[in-house]
């Protein structure tokens, strides 16, 4: 039973991330319905493009999870942090490429969905605005996965909730009131930026709180080895 509870706890952040993604689309459409069916159709097309980029990067991040988890359990802080650094570097590079692709070729991407002129009139700028959130999205997810690997499940879930609910929903409501349709697109980079800042602060706090955690594990491992 304890093993089942641990498996459930460690898998919960990934489940929440996927579940909130569906909720987010539905919630955004509730805002877009006030403008036009074209806006809803555009967001559906854009979300497919975004998921192609984000899910590719998430696959890489999930590949880092067992590596970080193994080294955490083995008490190897050096390898744990090395895996995190390399994973973060790859995520950064891939998200920058995805951002550039959407910013530089929004018209061509919309052309794949046979977008109308009405959709192109606001869709090109909307894609460029939302693409600026990709890097912060990737970094926040990487930090969340690091927490998941190091048994800080609550912190991992908190980051996912911030990304797609706690910060996004207020941002949508406020920016929609201020900037109308453009405010909805601006809500995504705003929420992702604030989430990344919170995630970074949480990680710095955890390291400051327990700086000797991995050192003690490594010492215990070496003592057992010499016995």
> The whole model's pTM is what?
0.87
Token couple for 180:
């109308």
- Between CA 203 and CA 9 the distance in angstroms is 20
- What burial letters (b/e) apply to 185-217, b meaning 16+ CB within 10 Å? bbbbbbbbbbbbebbeebbeebeeeeeeebeeb
Q: How many CB atoms lie within 10 A of CB 33?
A: 11
- Between CA 182 and CA 180 the distance in angstroms is 6
What DSSP character marks residue 116?
Answer: -
pLDDT at residue 98, as a whole number = 98
Q: Please give the chain's pLDDT, 227 residues, in tens.
A: 667 777 676 677 777 777 788 889 999 999 999 999 999 999 999 999 999 999 999 999 999 999 999 999 898 889 999 999 999 999 999 999 999 999 999 999 999 999 999 999 999 999 999 999 999 999 999 999 999 999 898 899 999 999 989 999 999 999 999 999 999 999 999 999 999 999 999 999 988 776 545 544 554 454 444 44
pLDDT at residue 226, as a whole number = 45
Q: Break the chain into its structural domains and give their ranges.
A: 2-226
pLDDT at residue 220, as a whole number = 47
Q: How far is CA 203 from CA 71, 101, 163, in A?
A: 18, 30, 16
Q: How far is CA 62 from CA 37, 98, 143, 181, in A?
A: 36, 18, 12, 34
Q: What is the pLDDT of residues 47-98, one digit of tens each?
A: 999 999 999 999 999 999 999 999 998 988 899 999 999 999 999 999 999 9
Helix and strand element counts for the chain (H, E): 10, 0
Burial class (CB in 10 A: 0-12, 13-18, 19+), 91: buried
pLDDT at residue 1, as a whole number = 60
Question: Are the CB atoms for 91 and 59 separated by under 8 Å?
Answer: no
């Amino acid at each position: 039973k304890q093993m089942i509870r641990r498996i459930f706890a460690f898998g919960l952040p990934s489940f929440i991330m996927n579940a909130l993604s569906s909720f987010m689309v539905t919630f955004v459409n509730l805002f877009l319905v006030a403008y036009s069916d074209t806006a809803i159709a555009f967001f559906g097309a854009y979300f497919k493009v975004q998921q192609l980029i984000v899910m590719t990067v998430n696959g890489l991040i999930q590949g880092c999870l067992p590596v970080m988890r193994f080294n955490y359990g083995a008490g190897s802080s050096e390898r744990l942090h090395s895996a995190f650094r390399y994973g973060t570097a790859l995520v950064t590079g891939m998200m920058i490429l995805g951002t550039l692709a959407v910013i530089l070729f929004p018209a061509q991407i919309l052309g794949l969905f046979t977008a109308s002129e009405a959709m192109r009139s606001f869709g090109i700028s909307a894609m460029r605005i939302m693409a600026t959130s990709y890097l912060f999205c990737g970094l926040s997810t990487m930090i969340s996965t690091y927490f998941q690997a190091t048994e800080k499940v609550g912190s991992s879930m908190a980051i996912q909730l911030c990304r797609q609910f706690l910060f996004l929903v207020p941002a949508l409501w406020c920016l929609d009131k201020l900037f109308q349709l453009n405010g909805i697109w601006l809500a995504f980079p705003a929420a992702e930026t604030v989430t990344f800042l919170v995630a970074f602060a949480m990680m710095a706090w955890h390291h400051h709180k327990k700086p000797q955690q991995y050192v003690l594990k490594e010492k215990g491992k070496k003592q057992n080895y010499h016995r």
